[in-house]
Every structure is written in C-alpha cells, then in structure tokens.
Amino acid sequence: MTTKANSLPDEVDASAGERHPKPPVARRRPLEHVIHGDRRVDDYAWLREKTNPEVIAYLEAENAYTGAAMRSTTAFQEDLYQEMLGRILQTDLSVPYRLRGYLYFTRTEEGKQYPIHCRRRDVAAGGQDAPEEVLLELNELAKGYSFLGLGAFEVSEDNQFLAYATDTTGFRQFTLHVKDLQTGKLLSERIERLTTVAWAADNRTLFYTVEDEATKRSHRLYRHTLGALGPDTLLHEEKDERFRLGVERTRSSAFLLLTVESHTTNEVWYLRTDELSGFFRCIVPREDDHEYYADHHPGSLAGESGIFYIRTNSGGRNFRLVTASVAAPQRDNWREIVPHRPEVMLAGAEAFAGHLVLFEREAALPHLRVVDLDAAAGAGDALAASHRIAFDQPAYTAALGANHEFATATVRFQYESFVTPRSVFDYDVSTRERILRKQQPVLGVYNAVLYTSERIHATATDGTRVPLSIVYRRDTPRDASAPLLLYGYGSYGISVPVAFSSNRLSLLDRGVIFAVAHIRGGAELGKPWHDAGRMKHKRNTFTDFIAAAEHLIAHRYSAREKLVIEGGSAGGLLMGAVTNLRPDLFRLVICHVPFVDLLNTMLDAGLPLTVGEYEEWGNPHLREDYEYMKTYCPYTNLEHKSYPTILIKTSLNDSQVMYWEPAKYTAKLRTLKTDTNPLLLKTNMGAGHGGASGRYDYLREIAFDYAFLLSQLGIHN
C-alpha cells in the first residue's frame, strides 16, 4: 500500500544558504509485492512518479544539498575547468574523409558548444579552392534547448540530400529531418522515434527503423519516398521483445542490410539498393546463441551480385569468417576463410575493393589485420595473405576510423594510449606505410615522457588472471602513499578502451594514479570473457574488481584510505555491488547513472530495455534467476553498516537507467549507513544517459567530479 506524504520533512532545509545543511530525507511510502514467495517492500517506489511535483522537489533538494556540500570547492572547480579548457584547441578541424567527390569534416569554434558539420569538393575531383558548405550548424539547432544530440547523418548517393536525426531531451528520442543541400532548405519529412536510416539507389527513397514508444525497442522497418503524403510501407515488424532492428547500407553501396539482433542471437536480411519495391531476404534464419554479421563485396567469380563476408560464431565463441554467394547464402554454401581461434576474438570484418580489415582482440589488446584479397584468393588462406598493423605500447586502443569509400588503397585508423593523444593515420595496405594525419593537440606543456603506462595482472579468487591498465607520472611514488582511481565496467561484452584524456592530466599531475580493471563481463579476452561475467556468472565481475583493488594495494600502488573507484551505468551496478561486498576496501566511490535497482527494474517488463536484457542478467520471473540476481542487486543488499564516501550522478531524462534508480538508492542508503561520510546525489535536470551534451557544460561536470575527488583526498589546489 502507499500513503500520502511530503517528500521532505518540514525541519529539513537543504538550501544552498545553510552553513551546515542536513541531507534530504525522502519519506517512506511502502509498496509491497510478493515474487516467488518472497515478500518485497520498496519504501521509495514513489520516486518513479516523474510528473509528481514532490519527486522533482526531492531531486532539487538533493541538488541543493550537494551544492551546499560542494560550495567550498567552487573556486577549485573553476580552476580545474580553466586548467582543462586550457589544454584544448577550441577552434579546430577534424581530419576530412572522402566520399563521392567530397571531403567531409567537422569544425569547432571557440565559445560554441557543438561542432559544425561541413564539406567541400575534393581536390582530386576538381574541387581545389572550392568553398566550404555548412551542412549542419548544431549550435543553431541547439538554440532554446538545454540538450542536443545528433543521431543519423546520411548523405544520398547523388550528394543532394542529407537525412539527419536530432534529440533535444536526452531521452534518445530522435526525429528525422531531410535537408536539400543544394537549396539549404528542409523538406517536409519529419519522422519521429527514428533509430537508423539508409538511402536507396534512387536518392529519393529512405529505409528506416523506429522504436516502440513504451519500451524504446527498435521494432519496425519502413520504406519512405521523399514528398509522399500517404502512410509509409511497413516492411518488417519484430514481435519478439528480445530483438531490435537496425538498417544500413553496405560500403559497396549495392545492398541494404537489416540486422535483427538480441544479446545472444541475430539474423541478417538483405535487399539490393536499386530494388525499390522489393522485399528483404534472410541470409540465415535466427537460431538460439548463433550470432553472425555480414558485409558485401562485388566479387569476381560469384556472379553479378557478388559475395557476402560473414562473421559467425557457429564454429566457436570467438567467431570465424566465411564467404557465401549472394545468390545462395545458405549455411550449406559457406566457405571458411578464417578459422575460429580460441585465443583470438574476431570482433569485426570490413570489406573493401582490394582488401579486408579484421578487428581482433588477443591478450586483452586490440589488433587490426589487413587481408590482401587477391593474394588470399591465390593462396586459399586469408590469414596467410594477411598482416597486422604493428603497435608497440603495453596498453593502447586502436580502431578503424572513417572509411566510407569502397575502392581505396588506404585504411584510416585511430590509435591512442594513456600517454599518446588520439592519432589519425592513413595506412597504405600495399607498402605498409602509415601517414599521421593528425594527433589531437594538447595545449600547454604536455610531455609524454613524464608519464608511464603499464599492463599488469591481478589474480581472481578462482585463479583467473585479470588484466589492469595503469598510468601515472614517473615521479609519483610507489610506496602506497599515492591516491589511485580505479575504473571498471564489465558488462555486455564491452571492452573499456585504454584511451588518452587531456582532462585526466589534472589528476595525474596531482599525484593520482589511474587504472582500469578489465574484468570479466567485458570482451577484452573474447566472447568467453563476456560469458564468464554474465547471467549466473555475474558475480565474477565483482570479485574480479575486488581482486584488482587488492592487488594494487598489495603492490603498493596505493592504500585503502586513498583508493577511489568509479563506474557508470552497468559500471554503476559494479560500484554498488562491490561497495556492499567490501565497503572497507574503498575510500571514495563515484557512480554515474548507476544501474543499482536491478531486481525491481528487471521485474518490470514495461520499462525500456528490460526484456532484451534477460540475456545479460537473467529473467527474475524465473525463480532460479531471481534468487541469483537477488544476491548482488545493490539496492536490495544495502545494510546497516559503514559505507565509503559516495557521489552519485544521474539525469532526469535518462532512458537507459531511469533517474529513480540512483534516487531510490540514495534515499534508502541515507537511512541505513552508520557512518558520517558524505553521500551526495546530483541530478542533471535537462540531460540523458551521457550527461551534458555541450562540450563546455560537459567539461564543467568533469571539473565538479575532480574537485570532489581531490578535495576528499585532501588536495585543494
């Protein structure tokens, strides 16, 4: 039952003007239900009522309390903001990429929050001295909004029309517009809840997917002709709530691919881009636990439609690569060209006219492998006709960059590490020469030699070796006296990149060590690494992280009283779980949009993402899954005991982890914690899952986090 009450006691004043404010206290309104015979009482379920003025008042009271608690750091926040801003080249250009006779790029201007999307004629296409064309001026589109997100950005093959989608709330609710790039005018098209879009060969037909309003699951594929007034043609509707849709055009421009996928299973449908009224055909119908992805190549021996390169885990969890003719793509006709390798995850395969680029993961490091298609055809062995692009740092991130053209002799890739700023290279696949097109400038006195990066391993309780990537200044002492920030995620098979951050220098230069724990649940060591940290193995994610923290302490990188941990979204669940398990191990916890109310959320099939997530966490409507999830759900397992200092950040319009999860978690923890350590909740009232969208606003959010972290460690300037 529920009872009517105010969200704050009358005696609580959390205003910014109070010298020593008391924390807000949310009223308890018990909501009881029984699942599998287990009586569950949720005192703070009422915080889900987003339109309830009492809910908004509670969030604003928490914001006021946080503001008051952080007032003493105001000047420090400003110093950190200016320091980080001073490292950024505010007026800048991206490296242009080629596409059908144009060079596309973005530029930023000092004082403006958002990039400006532009193009100009390519020199090679007679466009030397051609004027810049502004395609989208996001700063103009953002006027009147506190948030702006850009989704789809697709130019028609005749270069005349731009289909783009924007979100002005942070709720990942995108609206499609079409701009005539010759006249600069918007067409009448306006399609709500767009997720993906692709152009057909006639430059007048769009294929697009939309999301279900209630669950935000991409579930329908439509065909639309520019200027058409009638209803668009529905081509595909996915009824199974585990699956979502996405449509794209192959790099060869010959086919549209519709991928229908869950977390563990998918199928791919295909249609020629010139078959405007045709219907998609399926390469292989879905089978439980079979994932496969396709790319197209015109080929030379397989007929006019060419071949599909298919990356499939049918022969092993880490995927292999096969080919099949477009005319007969059934599994019986698959021909293996890259076998399954237990130690190497084949995470991607991209087809170009003369080569393939394979994205691989081995020993928790990414690799780019180039396959010469002519040589592979002659040898009958793709690996024998391939080579890896060499990288020599102990930990780094490498990935393909913007490679829109099919017929090209170069591959663009990005490389960075904890000490090397993001660098864009063009790589000649024949000569193996790499040309640095741009390294992101770091203004000021940055010298990479002053910093060192390491790759070490901790040992989990079951003997598993867990990789850690570490960076610090060379003059930082290794005697357990240095503060350390340990970051983790460990879900959905997502690998945490070893990326450069000029902002992070503000921590490193103050003696803070930064580390990433590449724990199970991610994909750093392939698909089995993900499998070992999901469903009934999820607790490995948490014990791996604890083992990483203990290893860093044992090897005197830091000490418990100076150990800070950080994670966001599913990484916020990690923060809540490990804090419940070992609150004594951490000095400070920073949670961004944390997924901390696992059981209540997963029991509600009407919420966005829930049903599709059963394959990651389990289905709590099944008793066995429920009992296991209950053992680690952060909100469920809060207890009367001491907790570290905690900062929790969320956004009111988050569509992935609803704001009420961190709000409920904070409210409940306030009633249970037996310590006097600060517990702060900060809600961005006009953003979504990723926080502020403007680059300056986002930088101020980081300055806030850093000021909190450093001041709690006794570092005030």
Q: Which residues are identified as catalytic? A: 569, 654, 689
Cβ-Cβ contacts under 8 Å for 527 (sequence gap 6 or more): 313, 317, 318, 319, 345, 493
Q: Residue 145 is which amino acid? A: Y
In this structure, are strands 255-261 and 355-362 parallel, antiparallel, or unpaired? Answer: unpaired
d(CA 460, CA 291): 29
CA 33 to chain centre: 34
d(CA 472, CA 428): 34
Maximum pairwise Cα distance, the chain: 82
Tokens linked to 175: 């609206």
Helix orientation angle between 570-581 and 539-554, rounded to the nearest 10 degrees: 70
**Cα angle, residue 368 at apex, residues 363 and 369 outer, rounded to 5°:** 105
Which tokens sit at 561? 């009283």
Are the C-beta atoms of 552 and 609 separated by less than 8 Å? Answer: no
What's 170-203 look like in SS3? CCCCEEEEEEECCCCCECCCCEEEEEEEEECCCC
**In which element (H, E) is residue 550 found?**
helix 539-554
User: Which amino acid, residue 184?
Assistant: G
Alpha-helical runs (H) found in 636-694 = 660-672
Question: Amino acid letter at 19?
Answer: R
- Surface-to-core class of residue 97, CB atoms within 10 Å of its CB (0-12 exposed, 13-18 middle, 19+ buried): middle
- Region of 705 on the Ramachandran plot (φ > 0 left; ψ -120 to 50 alpha; else beta): alpha
Tokens of 595: 């997924």
Residues with Cβ within 8 Å of 220's Cβ and at least 6 positions away in sequence, in order, are 209, 210, 234, 236, 237, 238, 245
Residue pair 253/271 in contact by the 8 Å Cβ criterion: no
Residue 382 · residue 355 · CB < 8 Å: no
Cα separation of 90 and 105, whole Å? Answer: 16
DSSP string, 570-596: HHHHHHHHHHHH-GGG-SEEEEES---
Contact by Cβ (8 Å): 298, 280: no
* E strand or H helix that includes residue 706: helix 695-712
| Long-range residue pairs from 452-456, CB within 8 A, at least 24 positions apart, any chain | 452/419, 453/393, 453/394, 453/395, 453/417, 453/418, 453/419, 453/498, 454/394, 454/395, 455/364, 455/394, 455/395, 456/551, 456/555
End-to-end CA distance of the chain: 51
Q: Name the token pair of 325.
A: 């003719």
Residue 36 near residue 55, CB atoms below 8 Å: no
Look up residue 626 and give its amino acid.
Answer: Y
